Chains A and B, each alone.
Chain A
Amino acid sequence: MIAGYGHTKFGDLGRVTSRELVVAATIEALEMTNLNRNQIDSIYLGMLSPDIFEHQMHAAPGIPDYLGLNHTPSTRIEAACASGGLSVLHGIMAVASGFHDVVLSVGAEKMTNLPTSHTTEALAMCADDIYEVASGITFPGAFAMMARAHEHKYGTNAEMRASVAVKNHKHALDNELAQFRKELTIEKAMNSLMIADPLTLYDCSPITDGAAAVIIVPWEDRADYEGIRVKVKSFSQASDTMSLHDRNDLTGFMTTKVAARKAFDRASLQPKDIDFLEVHDCFTIAEIMAIEDMGFFEKGKGGQVTLDGETARDGHLPVNASGGLKAKGHPIGATGVSQIVEVAKQLSGNAESRQLNDVQYGMTQNLGGSGSTIVCHILERGD
């Protein structure tokens, strides 16, 4: 179960290292519980690239170092933008195996040190270097090609995509940790700078610094722990080809379908049982494809239902009540953990002004590369 969480402000945080961000998030998480830092048995650190962003390889030992821990094992997990979700998944497996009792899963990224074009290059390295990067692909470019294919097949237009951004910006108004806390109109989103046609600036998540942490302990031992009680109902992971062009369908991700199906099966739940979602809206089209591929809406209808308000906080299936990657911000390694933190806040009644009513099950979808890695979690409100 999740016993505690911590989450820094997301945004351009100036001169600070990812290690310091992780310390802040971890201390906050520990203070929710009756645990002290010396009781952490193992650390899983989700980070895309301290090497490129901070000129620091071997970042994992830097976490116990700055936490003042003696010899605590610490492992970095890299799965592009799914690094954070995967660090949570491995933390859960370590506890579920019985090998560890208290695990810290944390994600972080310090991205704002580099000029934008270098950050674009670093992110593009998550694509296939031989067959995509050498050809001039960018991350927005890959999703733009999917957006065009989705529009061609299903009619998902710029207004529908913009409605994802408008909704998530609106949600972030109630999240004091979000990078952007300003309302956005459909017109402004549609008329913003072209990044990779047809995706404009407001179709894209921003470049962000931040960290998020969760403390994972055995559900069976819950009586021993103070803090929140949010049960891990299931988790899942799936992989697909490195290159987007090697897939049969360019209007969605088989990995999302496979991982979501596994998560539902392992939890003995169905989409109708889930009360709210935090999904990976690195681009507006990604949220549209996610809610379709996870099985919540018919394929091709994701854009229209968003435009119709069905996924708004007051809609029948709230999606990204936190503001999502789009408005909350997207510090790559932190994102998957931040999704878990938001679900844990909602399920423990700690989401303050954005609290959803009567929620029992929340689900996450964290995406790496062009959907080459997907990680899903289903969490349940504890007793």
Chain B
Amino acid sequence: MKEITRVVKAYEDAINQNRIVGSQCTSCQDISVPPRPLCKNCGSSEIEITTIEGAGTLLTWTVIHIAPPSHLERVPYILGIVELKNNQKLTGIVELEEGINPDFGMELIADFEEGQEGASRLRWRSRI
């Protein structure tokens, strides 16, 4: 029996500990964020969970005005795609200080909201 590689649990557990993790292939060293059970580059199932620096740049964004019930109290909120240092990307809520507007290539750092669970804890804030 092949062992189950639990990458989602690894990601969620890490976020709950204020960290972002990815998977790193032990044969070709390729990194995936979020982590994947098989290497995106070579297909190997030999991967290790590795902590990624919580910093990146803003690739694109929207401001959500009509939200699902889980996010109704937040509207309007900025949702963006953030490119990490290793060219991996994540989707997340971007929270900027009053007077700061989102911009292409804006430098962001990861933050983690209290009282939330899993991926929904992750926030991106501007590097001050």
Instruction: Mark interface residues in A341-375 (1 if CB within 8 Å of B CB, else 0).
Output: 00000000000000000000000000000000000
**CB within 8 Å of A: which B45-85 residues:** 59-72, 74, 76-77, 79-81
User: B15: nearest residue on chain A (CB-CB)?
Assistant: A134
Given A135-B79, A149-B60, A245-B81, 10 extra CB contacts under 8 A = A135-B93, A136-B70, A136-B77, A138-B66, A141-B62, A145-B79, A194-B63, A197-B65, A245-B89, A250-B60
Which of B61, B74, B77 gathers most chain A CB within 10 Å? B61
- Cβ of A82 within 8 Å of any chain B Cβ, yes or no, is no
Complex Cα distance, B124 from A136, in Å, reads 13
Count of CB-CB pairs between chains A and B under 8 Å: 101
The range of chain B's interface size is 20 to 34
Chain B residues lying within 8 Å of A145, measured Cβ to Cβ, are: 60-62, 79-81
Given A145-B79, A244-B81, A116-B120 contact (CB < 8 Å): no
* CB of A139, distance to nearest CB on chain B (Å): 10
- Cβ of B28 within 8 Å of any chain A Cβ, yes or no, is no
Judging by beta carbons under 8 Å apart, are B91 and A132 in contact? yes
16 pairs of residues in contact across A and B, judged by CB atoms under 8 Å: A117-B67, A130-B11, A130-B12, A135-B119, A136-B68, A136-B77, A136-B120, A141-B62, A145-B81, A152-B60, A195-B66, A196-B63, A196-B64, A197-B63, A198-B62, A245-B91
Given A124-B68, A245-B90, A130-B8 contact (CB < 8 Å): yes
* CB of B81, distance to nearest CB on chain A (Å): 5
Chain B residues lying within 8 Å of A250, measured Cβ to Cβ, are: 59-60, 81
B residues with a Cβ closer than 8 A to A are 8, 11-12, 34, 59-72, 74, 76-77, 79-81, 89-93, 104, 118-120, 122
**CB within 8 Å of B: which A104-159 residues:** 116-118, 120-121, 124, 130-138, 140-141, 144-146, 148-149, 152
Judging by beta carbons under 8 Å apart, are A144 and B62 in contact? yes
Given A117-B72, A145-B81, A149-B59, A135-B64 contact (CB < 8 Å): no
Instruction: Mark interface residues in A167-203 (1 if CB within 8 Å of B CB, else 0).
Output: 0000000000000000000000000011111110000
Judging by beta carbons under 8 Å apart, are A117 and B69 in contact? yes
Q: Which of A124, A136, A198 contacts B93 (CB 8 A)?
A: A136
Chain A residues lying within 8 Å of B65, measured Cβ to Cβ, are: 193-197
Q: Which of A117, A131, A198 contacts B91 (CB 8 A)?
A: A131
Complex Cα distance, B104 from A134, in Å, reads 23
User: B117: nearest residue on chain A (CB-CB)?
Assistant: A134
A residues with a Cβ closer than 8 A to B are 116-118, 120-121, 124, 130-138, 140-141, 144-146, 148-149, 152, 193-199, 243-246, 250
Judging by beta carbons under 8 Å apart, are B66 and A134 in contact? no
User: A122: nearest residue on chain B (CB-CB)?
Assistant: B68
Which of B12, B93, B119 gathers most chain A CB within 10 Å? B119
Complex Cα distance, B23 from A55, in Å, reads 39
User: B40: nearest residue on chain A (CB-CB)?
Assistant: A246
Given A117-B69, A243-B91, A245-B90, A134-B119 contact (CB < 8 Å): yes
Complex Cα distance, B8 from A346, in Å, reads 48
Complex Cα distance, B104 from A313, in Å, reads 37
Given A145-B60, A145-B79, A121-B68 contact (CB < 8 Å): yes
* CB of A205, distance to nearest CB on chain B (Å): 14
Judging by beta carbons under 8 Å apart, are B118 and A146 in contact? no
Complex Cα distance, B71 from A160, in Å, reads 30
Complex Cα distance, B122 from A152, in Å, reads 26
Complex Cα distance, B61 from A141, in Å, reads 8
* CB of A149, distance to nearest CB on chain B (Å): 4
Complex Cα distance, B81 from A132, in Å, reads 10
Which of A152, A194, A246 gathers most chain B CB within 10 Å? A246
Given A135-B119, A144-B62, A118-B69 contact (CB < 8 Å): yes
Judging by beta carbons under 8 Å apart, are A117 and B119 in contact? no
* CB of A313, distance to nearest CB on chain B (Å): 31
Complex Cα distance, B93 from A277, in Å, reads 37
User: A193: nearest residue on chain B (CB-CB)?
Assistant: B65
Chain A residues lying within 8 Å of B59, measured Cβ to Cβ, are: 149, 250
* CB of A287, distance to nearest CB on chain B (Å): 18
Judging by beta carbons under 8 Å apart, are A244 and B70 in contact? no
* CB of A204, distance to nearest CB on chain B (Å): 9
Judging by beta carbons under 8 Å apart, are A134 and B120 in contact? yes
Chain B residues lying within 8 Å of A141, measured Cβ to Cβ, are: 62, 64, 79
User: A198: nearest residue on chain B (CB-CB)?
Assistant: B62
User: A149: nearest residue on chain B (CB-CB)?
Assistant: B60
User: B65: nearest residue on chain A (CB-CB)?
Assistant: A194
Judging by beta carbons under 8 Å apart, are B122 and A135 in contact? yes
Chain B residues lying within 8 Å of A131, measured Cβ to Cβ, are: 34, 90-91, 119
* CB of B49, distance to nearest CB on chain A (Å): 15
